[in-house]
Amino acid sequence: MTQRQLKRLEEQCVLVSRRLGNMRLFGFNERNPTVRNLCKLLEAELAALTEDDQQQFFRQRQRPRQSNKPLAMNG
């Protein structure tokens, strides 16, 4: 996504962001009812995928996470 698109989604309360050093981390705004419904839909679709299909879309990390590194923002 471009910065302009991210800014628009944040203005519409679909995304929230926070600064971490010189980075801006974005996540879904869980307080937005549309986002909650979208997350439910995506979870249902993911549950319907076979394990082979899930592996097509998701892959394991190639290297371990740096110790004490914060996880990406969930919401």
Rounded (to 5) percent helix, strand, coil in the chain: 45, 15, 40
More confident residue, 28 or 62: 28
Q: How far is CA 40 from the centre of its chain?
A: 14
Whether 74 shows a pLDDT value over 60: the answer reads no
The torsion angles phi and psi of 6, rounded to 5 degrees, stand at -60, -40
What would the pLDDT profile of 3-36 be if each residue is shown by its tens digit?
899 999 999 999 999 999 899 999 999 999 999 9
More confident residue, 56 or 74: 56
What would the pLDDT profile of 32-60 be if each residue is shown by its tens digit?
999 999 989 989 998 898 888 888 777 77
Closest CA to 28 of 11, 46, 14: 14
What separation in angstroms does the CA of 22 have from each of 5, 16, 66, 67, 69?
Answer: 19, 17, 18, 20, 15
